[in-house]
Structures are given as structure tokens and as C-alpha cells.
Structure 1
């Protein structure tokens, strides 16, 4: 287990850690005070190094972290926290960004004890889609890779912020290999099957779109969607959102199921296409909803069964190695 830093530690002779607010396999997130700007709170993402890696790999990883962080620091969008600093200290890499006050959508869902209002989802969804469209337009495109209710915060002035930049991926348009080292594999309930292979699997904007659809699914039904592994084994595992919540509009259910198609080629090619169906501006291209849900998955599995099955096996092997280790 990677040791976290204690409250009171000062990094870069500037940031005083006050509380750990999140921790995962790839890193920890701290709340900190900026000693140079009294009253300013920061969120500091600490990237956990691979303790079993060679020194050469660690140096390469640190170089890649600095390359990625410099790109993230250039991003400027109202629904994204601003990255203000990045550095390495004592063999650890850190990303400093605005600390976003407010509750995340997972908390709101728990407090509501039922599905969130469709009117709110539409209002917030537009902001989330805007943020993703902005990220995907970058050169190279920036993928978030861990969209979920807990990573979407609602500020006190009712603005949406898509947080946790520690789990992003920069995708060069002419090279399918990742150039990032601070990404994660996402969260199982919201992760498409191709992402289970880690860097070995091909992920692009359509992977974020899957996670976005899975997020809306849970917010509108108050039920987590069946994960990709379960759906791979049972194509009928995912129920349509309006079967769980009859108040869900048909165009929303259609957009969500389109986004959550198992094979990337069956999903919207970009978030703008998803936006059109999500807001009911255009119907989903091609087959009807019932046909697309069943036939689309079948076609996907037939077309790329080997690739999907390989990703699934990689996940099983990784779990087995973790247990054995």
C-alpha cells in the first residue's frame, strides 16, 4: 500500500496539506492551502509511482508526467478545474488545481434517495458535454477515462465541474499508444470493455462517451448499470432506463443506450452526435432503439469478438495476479 502524506506537510515550500480527500490505486488527492495566496484552497493530485519499476522506467514516467501536466495547465474551460502548477518532489509527481467546493452527483443521488430530476440532468448534461467536447478537441485530444457521478461536482452557483484530472489520457491522432502515466483504468461500472486492457487496449473519445452514458443511466434510475464484463457474458444484462424509471424521456433513454453500446463503432463517434440525441434534436441514426440495442451488440461482438475477449482476459489475468501477489 502506498503511504499517504500527513496533514501539515508542506510541498514546494508553498502548499500546506490539510486533508486527504480521495485515494485510489493510481494516486491520492489532498486539499491544501496556498501559503503564497492566503485563503486560496487547492486540490493536489499525487501520482503513485510503480514501486516495482526500474529506474529507467521511473525517469521516463516522470518525463511523461511533466509533458502531460504542461498540456493540462493550458486548458481553460468553465466546467474544468484550472491546473495551476505541477512539480516533482522526493520522487513523487504532483498536479495542483483549483479546489472545487460543493457536492458531487453521487452525494446528491444518495441524499435524494431516488432518481434525480430529468430537468436537472438535462441542465447539467449540457455543461458536461461542453467540457468533454472541449477536451476532445485538443491537439492531441485529452480523454478523461474516469467519468462517473463522484467525479462531477455541483458548485454553490449551480455550475458543473468535471474533476479528477489525474485520470486523463492524451491520444496522439496518428498513434494509438498512450503517452500518459497518470491515468487509471476507470471505475468498473462506468468503464467500457476496451478500457479494461489498460494501455494495451485502444481507447478514444467513444470510451468517454460510454462512461458518460453509464453516468446518466445511474443518475436517472438510481441504479448502477450492469458493467461491461457482465454484459459481455449476457448481452441482455442492461435494462433500458425507462423500464426502471418510466419518467425517463424516450430520447434520453435512446441516447444513453447508444452511448453504452459494447463496441466503440456502435457508439456516437463524438460527443456532439451524442448531444443531438440526448436533447431530442435528432433521432439516433440507423436502427430503432429496440433493434440497435440487440442487433448492434450482436454485430459488435461478431465483428471484434477476439479484441473484446482479449481485453476481458487481460482483466481476469490482472485480477488473478493481484490476488496471487
Structure 2
């Protein structure tokens, strides 16, 4: 669309100012009226749509655009014109000079906005919704990116009618089997998730999510997994905003929690009522932070009694904010607890130390920094995220105590970043400490304790200690089965991990059977096209490959990729991952020419979507290099491996597992080119790094030492090679013996 520059002989496109799933937004000049406008160009219709569908869609677009153009309110973006040009549907809107709320939060480094600004924005959006709802129009996709604050302070809602068009055109990813448009999971109402009819109260719920985020710095269910977010909206009470930010007015918190009611009838009856309540909240006094205890046992009648964390003994909670009760927190949801505790008065002469209540402002600052770390991790900046979490953990330990749930949440995130940056041994130590502390503070069956124990098992697997990982997974699974039942998603997730680990123990048939059973259970419980079901089917394909059943593996990977493209979108990372594994299968089947074509397309798509330096783009390039070698094109393979290795050093670090895999591929290519002395240097660098990071008896370290011995043989240094082979054999036997103990 950009190349035409002039649309309908009237709108000259000047600068691209936005791009998203629906299309592009351009700053343009209306040549007829001499004014600047914004032109939203929707993506062209897919060729698979039949003519009757496109006719209906065009009419629908015209109808929705007319409705949007008829809206006249200072809080709603003005639509000037609409039409179709060269097969592309477009809308002409007023050009807004300001920042959407998502960018305002970004500019504020993830910190919440000032309280007065939050309430002002809420009042203006409520007024705009009151107007549009009176016209019988529901937005359906209210989120921070669709709310713009102009430089003069005016707040405007954008994209009325666009969400429904996106659903019809098929731009929006869908949940399987439910007919629910995913939209933006962080802001979806329970009725949208359930696939039932929505009305204006759905917009009020979405507004509640937006207000929660701009007031606290994070949405109400700030989880990594889209499905977990949706389940949170549907089933889990949100944590009161004052637990994140104690200075929020009590009345405002009550409004947000009412907007987030699961049942539409329990929310404010309309946006007009909401506006009146927000005006009253402007003068409300600040709240007192709500105290949070450990999760009560199901059979406890009174949540104030029973098994409290050890660090709460001798203490009593402060006054709770109005309307806020005890809330349980999803395991490691990324939301920090901010319970404020005051000591009971000590008996005269008892000499008991009094623990002073931490400053609410200090707690709020640390909560904001915790979310900053989570945001960095979500964007793949693991090293920076780890530094933030490390600093926050230390400050929380000093402020709240080493066993406070907030401190443990930060320490858990430190461990998570360590495991994602190739420091598995350090991650293991960190997870072990967190799991022990959580068991002591929260109890052995608390979800947070089980989450830490499960991650401990995962890291043991990273370290090649698969027998210990198996024991860890089995223990966690037994508890999950007893507490949650066999079909609970957490139980199935643990069984999935256990199946993966079984393959690492060489129990390939057991791994395949368990993965197959988990996939069937997830299909029954969650649906055949649910993301978790597809993850396990992906694991089934992996197990098939391990068993040498590559044709079946290829077929399964392709099916998973096809379903993911349909439900999540063709550019979703999970869709691209399944395509990558299909390339692995093609290579294993000797179809390297086909694999080469697949990887070239995949590299192009990953570069476009994620960037040239993204770890997954580099992984696809690694696959390309491997298949160049299989085709005998070793000079090209060597050049590709060296470039990928250099990029991985820069992006991931010199000792990251992926970097070492690339370095090994450099050595392989050098060997095939008969440059054995150079190959030996590379193999030794890999072996030394793996020994330092993973340990001398890790399978990957031993494999590298075998590579080194092979190089020595090729160089005629047979005695050294034999001695190295012997050392590897001894270590491998010791490792196997340790695993059987």
C-alpha cells in the first residue's frame, strides 16, 4: 500500500507510524482539505476467502465504518472517510498528537502512572463509553494501545468496530474448539473467553483491566502463558491493586475490583454510574495495604487461623483496605505480595524485638522494579532481567525479611533467569534454596513450593542429572495428583515434563507412551487445538523422532504447525517452532534439499517477525548450516556456522549451550574440510566450556571429549586419543552408576 503513495487521488501517505496484526497506520495528507490525517490500511484479504465471503465482509466493513464515522464525542477518535483501494480496505481518521497508554507505561519504564492521572484517564474513558454505549456500540477490544492521551490531556478511544472486523477477516488468533477470538488476553472479559454474547459490561471489565495496569504497572493476571491468563480472568480473583501500590485511594480500588467482577451483573450497571463513582473517588483518602498470609487449607473454616508462615508468628496484620479480603495468588504469577505486618506489643521486660512495618512507598518501588524485571524477561532480555531481580531480591530481603513471599518471588525469578542464560548449576542452587524456604514458609503442598520443586527438576535435567530430575518430577506429580487430581492442568504439565525427561533417560518407549497419554488427556480436558495440547503433541513428535520414526514425526510436526498457524497465527513463535522441527525431520529423512528450502523460508519469516539477531532466528540459521553440510557444501556450511557462532556469542554469551552447539558445528565443518588441527582447537574449547558449565560427567561434556579424541586420531596422535577415550568411558560408567543409586 505504501508504494502507491496516493489513495483515491486524495490521501497521500507520508510516514508509517504503526503496524500490528490488523495492518498499518500511516500519517497522511488529505490533498483536498490540506490537513494531516491518519490512514489505517487493513491487511489484504487472504486468497482462500471465497467471493461471497469477501462481498459480505466488504459490506460489513462499510457498515462498521459508517457507525464509527457517525460517532461524535471528544473522547472518541473521529473517522473522516473509508473505502477500498486496490483490494485494501482503509479508514481515514483524525491524526492524534499524543501517546497511547501502552507507550506511556513504556516511557515510564513500566512504573504506574500518577494516581491523579489514572483517575482522570478513567473518568474520560468512562464518559466516552457512556456515550458510545448509548448509541448501542460495544468496543470489544479495549486495551491500553487503543486509548490515547493527547498532549493537552484529552483522552480518546480508538478503533471502534475494528476488533469485530478483525475477528471476521481472521486476523485474530482463536482459541480452539470454542469459537472465542483471543484478542488481547490480558484485557478479555470472562464472557468473551467463554464465547457467550457480550454487551457493554464486557467493555467495563476490559476498562477495569486497563485501569489496574496503569495504576499498578502490570495487568491483573500478568502471566507468561496466554491460556493461564485466560483462566485467571475466568476463575481467579484479582489481587487488590493496593497490594501492589498502597497509596491508591480505597474507593478507586473498590471501583476497579467491581469492574473486574466475573459476572457481568456484579459490575457497575453502566459507564454513567462508573463516571459518578470515579468522581467521588477523586477525594477519597489513601488506603492501608492489605495483609496477605499463606494460602489456607481447604478444610479450614476461618482463613485467619491455621498454618501461617513462620515469620508471621507474634505478629498481627494491619487494618485491611475496605472491601478487601484474603486472596490467594497463582504460583509465580509475577505479582509481588506486599503484605504489611506489625508486631504485637511485647510484654513488659520481655526484651522482644519489634519488627517495624516497611514503608509502603519502598514496597511499591520494589514491586514496580520486580515488574520491570518480568517485562525484560518477556522480551527475552534474560541477563538484564536477572540483574534487576537480583537487586530487588537483596533489597526485599533487607526490607521484608529473607523468608517473605516477595523476597522468595524475586529469588525464584533470579533462578529462572539463570536457567535461561545457560547457568544451570547456579540456577539449581537458587531453586533448591527457594523450594526449601517456600516449603518452610508456605508448606510442602503450596503451589509456589511445587512450582519451585518442578523447576528444580527441570534444571537437573539441563545438567544431565536425569535420574534425579525423574525423582523430582515423580514426587511433585504424586502431590499434584493427590491435591489437584489427574486431569488438572498443573498435573498434566508435570506429566508432560516427566515424559520429556524419560526420553533423556533413554526410556524412549515410556516417553512416547506418556506423551501420547498426556496429549489425549489434554485434548479431552482442554480441547484438541488448545496450545497445551499442541505442546504435548509436539513432544509426541519428538519422541517419535527419538525412536527413529521420522516419517511419523514429520507428519505430526506438520499437523501441529498447521493447527498453530490457524489458531495462533502463522507468525506465532510456537508455529515457527513446529516448522523448525519439521525441518529437523526432513534432514533426518535424508531430504536435506527440502530442509534447506524450509529453513530459508523460516529464516526470512523469523527475521521479519523477531529480528535477525533473535535466538530463534539464529537457531533456524544453524539448521540451514547443518543441511548445507549434509549436501556436501562444507565451505558454505563453515561460513554459516562461524557467523551464527559469532552472533550467538554477542547475543547469548560465549558459554551459552546454543553458542557451544554452533562452535561444535564450526569444528565439524573444519573436520570435513580436513583442517583437523583447527577442528581440534574448536572441539577443545567446546569441551572445556561444557565441563566448566555442566560438569565433567555431563553427557554433552563427554560427547565433546569424544569429538576431541576423534580429532587426535585424525592427527595421528593415537596414544592421546586412546587415553581420552578411556577417561570418557570411566566417567560415563560413573555417571550411569550414580544415576542408578
TM-score by length of 2: 0.36
Tell me what 1:259 maps to: 259
Contact preservation (8 Å) 1:64, 1:180: no
* CA distance, structure 1, for counterparts of residue 160 and residue 3 of structure 2: 22
Q: Mean Cα displacement is larger for which, 65-74 or 226-235?
A: 226-235
Q: Which structure: larger Rg? A: 2
Residue-by-residue CA offset, 1:207-256 (whole Å, 9 max, x unaligned): 111110111101111122206514157624x2110000001111111111
* CA distance, structure 2, for counterparts of residue 315 and residue 44 of structure 1: 36
Give SS of 1:73's match.
helix
Tell me what 2:49 maps to: 53
Q: Mean Cα displacement is larger for which, 242-251 or 258-267?
A: 258-267
Cα shift at 1:117: 1.3
Give SS of 1:127's match.
helix
Would the alpha carbon gap of residues 233 and 248 (structure 1) be closer, same or farther in structure 2, given more than 3 Å must change? same
RMSD: 3.4
Give SS of 2:74's match.
coil
Tell me what 1:322 maps to: 564
Contact preservation (8 Å) 1:79, 1:131: yes
**Is 1:43–2:38 an aligned residue pair?**
yes
Contact preservation (8 Å) 1:65, 1:180: no
Aligned counterparts, 1:119-198, within 5 A: 119-138=116-135, 141-165=136-160, 167-168=162-163, 185=181, 186-196=183-193
Q: Mean Cα displacement is larger for which, 88-97 or 15-24?
A: 15-24
Tell me what 1:14 maps to: 10
Alignment coverage as a number of residue pairs: 288
Cα shift at 1:144: 1.5
Stretches of structure 1 that go unaligned for 5 or more consecutive residues are: 171-178, 295-311
Tell me what 1:93 maps to: 89
Would the alpha carbon gap of residues 51 and 260 (structure 1) be closer, same or farther in structure 2, given more than 3 Å must change? farther
Residue-by-residue CA offset, 1:253-310 (whole Å, 9 max, x unaligned): 11111111223233223112323333347x9xxxx8347989xxxxxxxxxxxxxxxx
Contact preservation (8 Å) 1:115, 1:221: yes
Residue-by-residue CA offset, 1:49-100 (whole Å, 9 max, x unaligned): 3443211010011011111211221111111121111111222211111010
Structure with more relative contact order (C-alpha pairs < 8 Å, separation 6 or more): 1
Tell me what 1:110 maps to: 106
Would the alpha carbon gap of residues 181 and 133 (structure 1) be closer, same or farther in structure 2, given more than 3 Å must change? farther
Contact preservation (8 Å) 2:77, 2:93: yes
* CA distance, structure 1, for counterparts of residue 529 and residue 78 of structure 2: 33
Of 71, 75, 79, the residue aligned with 1:75 is 71
* CA distance, structure 2, for counterparts of residue 52 and residue 77 of structure 1: 39
**Is 1:289–2:284 an aligned residue pair?**
no
Of 217, 224, 228, the residue aligned with 1:222 is 217
* CA distance, structure 1, for counterparts of residue 164 and residue 235 of structure 2: 30
TM-score by length of 1: 0.77
Residue-by-residue CA offset, 1:107-132 (whole Å, 9 max, x unaligned): 22233342211111222221111111
Residue-by-residue CA offset, 1:123-165 (whole Å, 9 max, x unaligned): 2221111111111111xx1122222222221212211111233
Cα shift at 1:10: 1.2
* CA distance, structure 2, for counterparts of residue 314 and residue 152 of structure 1: 36
Would the alpha carbon gap of residues 318 and 133 (structure 1) be closer, same or farther in structure 2, given more than 3 Å must change? farther
Would the alpha carbon gap of residues 117 and 86 (structure 1) be closer, same or farther in structure 2, given more than 3 Å must change? same
Stretches of structure 2 that go unaligned for 5 or more consecutive residues are: 173-180, 223-228, 285-321, 329-525, 535-562, 571-741
Contact preservation (8 Å) 1:145, 1:183: no
Give SS of 2:97's match.
coil
* CA distance, structure 2, for counterparts of residue 11 and residue 151 of structure 1: 25
Tell me what 1:304 maps to: none
